[in-house]
Amino acid sequence: MLAARLALLLSRRPASTCCRGHTAVAGCCGRCRDGGGLLRVARLTRWTWSCFVTGRVEEGAHDTEKIAAFDFDGCLANTSVKRTGAEAWSLMYSSIPEKLQELHKEGYKLVIFTNESNIERWKNKRQQAIDSKLGRLDHFIKVVGVPIQVFIACGLGKNKEQIDDPFRKPKTGMWTILAEHLNSDIAIDMNQSFYVGDAAGRAGDHGDSDIKFAQAIGLKFYVPEEFFRS
């Protein structure tokens, strides 16, 4: 389960070991608490809840120079802000499992970058927000049947000082963690890598954070209906 592989890092310290000697980018790696996988997160000192990083599904996972990156809500999964719970989702396109499996066979590492401000916003129901998001991601990964690395930006966008959260898209903090810490020091090939998201600034879109995220990084960008229906 994804929930068993999450750890919240408490600082932006360099690579080190945690309280039981497990290697981590910063803080405790999560093995101490849950006995499970190695999950890392980063935050700036101003941010209490900024970013979860799930690490990866262990079987068949591989770090590589080719990254196939995706938004989650409205891109891979049909979800609604009015519905909560691990089961409250469906595939956006029936072709998604086959497409992701093809990319995995072609040597791509599959990565999800998703914003989830409810984890910060629901202060009195934070565990519910976490369980809902992680449950959907966990079920999605089981349905598509491929290993996926997942990054979840949990902040609201700005803190009390009106400073932008460095991890919430369109800011590129999640990508920086991937490129600098969570790809086994393998340089990413920007010509072969790409990002797919639904927030492209079109009429009817809920925003433009996905296309701006891709542009800021320098990734090729696709909208999901173009990518999964082609």
pLDDT for the residue 53: 56
Whether residue 101 lies inside any domain: the answer is yes
More confident residue, 71 or 159: 71
* Average pLDDT of the chain, as a whole number: 76
Whether residue 58 lies inside any domain: the answer is yes
pLDDT category of residue 160 using cuts at 50, 70 and 90: low
pLDDT category of residue 80 using cuts at 50, 70 and 90: confident
Number of domains in the chain: 1
pLDDT for the residue 101: 96
3-state SS of 12-44? CCCCEECCCCCEECCCCCCHHHHCCCCCCCCCC
- Which of these, 26, 99, 108, lies nearest to 63 by C-alpha position? 108
Ranking 41-55, 148-162, 192-206 by mean pLDDT, the lowest is 41-55
> How many CB atoms are located within 10 Å of the residue 100 CB?
23
CATH code (residue 58): 3.40.50.1000
Which residues form the domain of 53?
40-229
More confident residue, 51 or 146: 146
Whether residue 34 lies inside any domain: the answer is no
How far apart are alpha carbons 156 and 158 in whole angstroms?
6
Ranking 100-109, 125-134, 153-162, 207-216 by mean pLDDT, the lowest is 153-162
Whether residue 149 lies inside any domain: the answer is yes
- Which of these, 155, 111, 156, 157, lies nearest to 137 by C-alpha position? 111
Whether residue 105 lies inside any domain: the answer is yes
pLDDT for the residue 16: 33
Whether residue 32 lies inside any domain: the answer is no
Q: What are phi and psi of 217, to 5 degrees?
A: -85, -35
pLDDT category of residue 158 using cuts at 50, 70 and 90: low
Whether residue 85 lies inside any domain: the answer is yes
Looking at the predicted structure, is the pLDDT value of residue 24 above 60? no
Looking at the predicted structure, is the pLDDT value of residue 39 above 60? no
- Which of these, 170, 188, 189, lies nearest to 178 by C-alpha position? 188
Looking at the predicted structure, is the pLDDT value of residue 42 above 60? no
Whether residue 23 lies inside any domain: the answer is no
